[in-house]
Amino acid sequence: MKLAPALICTSGLVAGLFAAATALAASSNRPEPLPKDAQRQVLGIWKLDNPSCTRALEQISNRFFIVARCRQPADIDGSTGIPLTRVSETSYKNFSGVVYEIDGEGHLLVKVGNEVFERGVPQKSLWPE
């Protein structure tokens, strides 16, 4: 099948725009709107020190996000996520250097440098139980 030159140009433009958006997102801690839950792969869910919130590590295509869901405030509903860069199989970091690391027992360690400032215990539900 041969594509018309206009279609080739348009598809290349779309791919270029997506690549630029991905690069821009990786250079920011600004939360991004995310697609519906069915389009995401949840890699892990944790309840943090604040019992009314959870954090989930989610993958959309080849991108990773940390996603918050809270009972209070109710507007933190998992519809946005902070982009992360995968450092290793168990470690991800945001643009400012905060590291989200999954330890050997499945706990989420939120770290700056070597200091752990928040811990999460695994849970099954996306929402606080």
pLDDT (mean) for 82-91: 97
Residue with tokens 């770290």: 111
Residue 109 maps to a domain: yes
Domain that holds residue 14: 5-122
Cβ partners under 8 Å of residue 51, min gap 6: 128
Top-confidence range, 3-7, 29-33, 63-67: 63-67
Higher-scoring residue by pLDDT: 50, 92: 92
Residue 82 placed within a domain:
yes
So what's the pLDDT on residue 56?
Answer: 97
Q: Does some domain include residue 129?
A: no
Give the length of the chain.
Answer: 129
Q: Is the pLDDT of residue 20 over 60?
A: no
Is 68 contained in some domain? yes
Q: What is the mean pLDDT of the chain?
A: 82
Structural domain includes residue 127: no
In this prediction, residues 86-90 reach a mean pLDDT of 97
Quick check: is 43 in a domain?
yes
Q: What is each CA distance from 12 to 3, 16, 23, 24, in whole angstroms?
A: 12, 6, 16, 18
**How far, in Å, are 53, 61, 72, 97 from residue 75 at the CA level?**
12, 25, 8, 26
pLDDT exceeds 50 at position 3: no
> For residue 103, what pLDDT band results from cuts at 50, 70 and 90?
very high
Is pLDDT at 12 greater than 80 in this prediction?
A: no
Report if residue 35 sits inside a domain: yes
CA distance 1 to 15: 20
Does residue 19 belong to any structural domain of this protein? yes
Question: What is the tally of structural domains in the chain?
Answer: 1
Is the alpha carbon torsion for 77, 82, 83, 89 positive or negative? negative
Q: Are strands 41-47 and 32-33 parallel, antiparallel or unpaired?
A: unpaired
